[in-house]
Amino acid sequence: MRGAFGVGPVSPPRPLHPGIGKKPIGLRRLTLWLACVVSLLAGSASAHDASSYGGVFRSRDLGAAWLNADVGLFLNAALVIAVDPRDSSHLLVGTDLGILSSRNGGRSWVPEARDLIIGAVFALAFSPDGELAMCAAASGVFRRDRDGWLRAEAPESAIPARALVAGPANDRVYLLGRSRLFASEDGGRTYAVVPGLPQMSEMTALVAIPGSADILAAVIDGQAMISHDGGRTWRNAGFGGAGAPIDTIATDATRPQRIWAAAGGRIVVSDDLGSGWHSVGRSLPEARARVRGIAASADATTLVVSSDRGIYRSGDGGETWAPKEDNLPTHIEAGPLARDPNDAGVIYAVFSLMPYAEVWRMAIEGGNLLARIEPISLAGGLSFCVLVLIGGCLAARHLSRRRAAAHRRADPAHGR
């Protein structure tokens, strides 16, 4: 039997099953839709809004341009960063949940000693030769050498620690605890209280002067103080006080005798270790900003300041300030700055979604940040996830059954 135009055999009539052909198409559309959603979520995760997370950022031109240095991370609170003086691509970052390490300049990160270093890490440092690393977390003070991370012996009052400062000799390390100064003479294995600070005084910032054996600069009771004997005695450097307490103090990468300080939204500098001070330019745009880091060029014309209002930069010695927002988080706090020991133009900044004061309070109380989540909220979130999973399984099972039933109706011989 020929077809309508006399060409080829006539095919037997196909049974009509209205709607049957639409089932597989619907399933394919559902699969395609789910794939698109997953792809969009993955894309948004890989290129997340910087303002939605804390993180680590790097500038190679003294703060003019910034790029993230925490690829693949979604940090709630990055608190401090240290650069290996022996290998600039080796970075350590202290977070609210421990330490992360990168061996390739921030392209990839791995956690370190998760079973040992627990809780917020505010203090982190390398030894001058890069052979050792030290940190202080909510769970204790630790030291890393070729054998890995080991617990150091330190008084209980040393935790939590505000800062770790390696002295010019590899065996000397200073640790600033909640308010007191501690020192180690054996490369960070043991720490002891440094006598000399009045019992009621509070030390809140500490730096070691480069190239000196025992000279330290600190903020004590809101004032700049200098010690020439490793913290046993202190002299008032003539800046700060109850009326305008100092936020932070910083050394200079190019001039050992120069120290910087900030108070009341103003930046000041001393070129003779605190014997004399002078203001630099004008106040920051946010006069109430709390400064946490200061970096400057050798001629002091380019200034970079990190604060609880973000990062500011000046290219004219502080006469004008501009907030840096391109590729940087906005409206969240920036922590201390860190400079590459091998390249003064490279600086790192850390940001925390949670206010640093709150992370510090949690560290003092010994709590974990997860304790902020109410049990009812946590249970509700888990229940929602379980319901979504069960609903997805039931929907997939239902679609599979309908598709099987449609195939049986389309092919009666198959059901016999």
Between CA 322 and CA 252 the distance in angstroms is: 22
pTM of the model: 0.76
Query: Of 173, 145, 176, which Cα lies nearest the Cα of 158?
Result: 176
Between CA 205 and CA 122 the distance in angstroms is: 12
Q: Is 222 exposed, middle or buried (0-12, 13-18, 19+ CB in 10 A)?
A: middle
Higher pLDDT, 318 or 376: 318
Residue 370 and residue 98 in contact, taking contact as beta carbons nearer than 8 Å: no
Higher pLDDT, 15 or 312: 312
pLDDT band at residue 182 under the 50/70/90 scheme: very high
The H or E element spanning position 391 is: helix 375-410
Lowest mean pLDDT among 28-37, 275-284, 287-296, 355-364: 28-37
Question: How are strands ordered across the β-sheet holding 192-193?
Answer: 163-166, 173-176, 181-184, 192-193
Q: DSSP E strands: which ranges in 222-363?
A: 223-227, 235-240, 246-251, 259-263, 266-270, 278-280, 291-296, 303-307, 310-314, 322-324, 333-334, 338-340, 343-352
pLDDT band at residue 18 under the 50/70/90 scheme: very low
Output the pLDDT for position 264: 92
Between CA 348 and CA 82 the distance in angstroms is: 9
Q: Is 311 exposed, middle or buried (0-12, 13-18, 19+ CB in 10 A)?
A: buried
The CATH number given to 49-372 is 2.130.10.10
Q: What does the mean pLDDT of the chain come to?
A: 83
Residue 178 and residue 221 in contact, taking contact as beta carbons nearer than 8 Å: no
Output the pLDDT for position 10: 45
User: How many other C-beta atoms are found inside a 10 Å radius of the C-beta of residue 290?
Assistant: 17
Q: Give the rounded percent of residues in the chain with a pLDDT score beyond 90.
A: 63
Output the pLDDT for position 50: 52
Looking at residues 256-285, what average pLDDT do you find?
94
Mind listing the pLDDT tens digit for each residue in 336-382? 999 999 999 999 999 999 999 999 999 888 744 434 444 444 455 56
Output the pLDDT for position 394: 73
Higher pLDDT, 389 or 333: 333
Looking at residues 93-118, what average pLDDT do you find?
95
Has residue 326 got a pLDDT over 90?
no
* Angle at CA of residue 377, ends 372 and 382, nearest 5°: 115
Output the pLDDT for position 325: 87
pLDDT band at residue 224 under the 50/70/90 scheme: very high
Output the pLDDT for position 32: 42
Between CA 359 and CA 364 the distance in angstroms is: 9
Output the pLDDT for position 320: 97
Mind listing the pLDDT tens digit for each residue in 107-149? 999 999 999 999 999 999 999 999 999 999 999 999 999 999 9
Between CA 314 and CA 310 the distance in angstroms is: 14
Query: Of 60, 64, 116, 51, which Cα lies nearest the Cα of 83?
Result: 60
Looking at residues 103-109, what average pLDDT do you find?
94
User: How many other C-beta atoms are found inside a 10 Å radius of the C-beta of residue 325?
Assistant: 14
Lowest mean pLDDT among 147-151, 188-192, 386-390: 386-390
Residue 198 and residue 176 in contact, taking contact as beta carbons nearer than 8 Å: no
Looking at residues 233-262, what average pLDDT do you find?
91
Query: Of 224, 264, 217, 225, which Cα lies nearest the Cα of 240?
Result: 224
Higher pLDDT, 415 or 156: 156
Query: Of 175, 168, 70, 170, which Cα lies nearest the Cα of 121?
Result: 175
Between CA 254 and CA 339 the distance in angstroms is: 11
